Structure 1
Amino acid sequence: MFPLFRHAAGALALSLGLALALPSHAALFSDDEARKAIIDLRAKTEAEKTARDAEAKARAGEIAGLRDNLLSLNSQIEGLRAELAAMRGQNEQLAREVGELQRVQKDIRQGVDERIRKLEPQKVTHDGREFMADPEETRLFEEAMGVLRQGNFAEAANLLGAFQRRYPASGYGPSVLFWLGNAQYGKRDYKEAINSFRALVSRAPDHPRAPEALLSVASSQSDLKDLKAARRTLDELIRAYPKSEAAVAAKERLATLR
Structure 2
Amino acid sequence: MQTTAVMRAASRAAMTLCLGASLLGAMPAHALFDDDEARRAILDLRQRHDALQASHQKLSEEVRRANEENAQMRRSLLDLQSQIDGLRADSAKSRGQGEQLARDVADVQKRQKEIAQGVDDRLRKFEPGKVTVDGREFLADPAETRDYDAALAIFRKGDFAAAQTAFSGFIKRYPQSGYNASSLFWLGNAQYATRDYKEAINNFRSMLTVNADHPRAPEAALSIANCQLELKEVRGARKTLEDLIKVYPQSEAALAAKDRLSKMR
Task: Please confirm whether the aligned pair reaches a TM-score higher than 0.5, indicating the same fold.
Answer: yes
Q: Give the stretch that moved more between structures: 143-152 or 61-70.
A: 143-152
* C-alpha contact (below 8 Å) 2:218/2:251 kept by paired residues: yes
SS in 1 for 2:131: strand
1:125 is the counterpart of 2:131: yes
Residue type at the aligned position of 1:125: V
Structure 2 counterparts to residues 172-183 of structure 1, below 5 A: 172-183=179-190
Shift of 1:170: 3.0
Residue type at the aligned position of 1:54: E
Q: Give the stretch that moved more between structures: 192-201 or 225-234.
A: 225-234
1:39 is the counterpart of 2:56: no
Q: Which runs of 5+ in 2 are unaligned?
A: 1-10, 24-30
Residue type at the aligned position of 1:189: D
Aligned to 2:63: 56
Deviations, residues 33-71 of structure 1 (Å, cap 9, x unaligned): 332332232323223222222222212111111111121
Aligned to 2:4: none
Shift of 1:157: 0.3
Residue type at the aligned position of 2:39: D
Shift of 1:77: 2.6
Shift of 1:197: 1.6
Residue type at the aligned position of 2:194: K
User: What is the distance in 2 between the residues matched to 1:25 and 1:132?
Assistant: 140
Aligned to 2:8: none
SS in 2 for 1:242: coil
For residue 216 of structure 1, the aligned residue among 220, 223, 227 is: 223
* C-alpha contact (below 8 Å) 1:123/1:130 kept by paired residues: no
* C-alpha contact (below 8 Å) 2:131/2:140 kept by paired residues: no
Residue type at the aligned position of 1:77: I
For residue 156 of structure 2, the aligned residue among 128, 146, 149 is: 149
Shift of 1:205: 0.5
User: What is the distance in 2 between the residues matched to 1:56 and 1:130?
Assistant: 109
SS in 1 for 2:213: coil
* C-alpha contact (below 8 Å) 2:128/2:140 kept by paired residues: yes
Shift of 1:75: 2.0
Residue type at the aligned position of 1:39: R
Q: Alpha carbons of 1:25 and 1:112: their partners in 2 closer, same or farther (altered >3 Å)?
A: closer
* C-alpha contact (below 8 Å) 1:237/1:247 kept by paired residues: yes
Deviations, residues 121-167 of structure 1 (Å, cap 9, x unaligned): 62443424444545544443333223223221101101212332343
TM-score, length basis structure 2: 0.70
User: What is the distance in 2 between the residues matched to 1:83 and 1:174?
Assistant: 76
Aligned to 1:184: 191
SS in 2 for 1:197: helix
SS in 1 for 2:35: helix
Q: Which runs of 5+ in 1 are unaligned?
A: 13-23
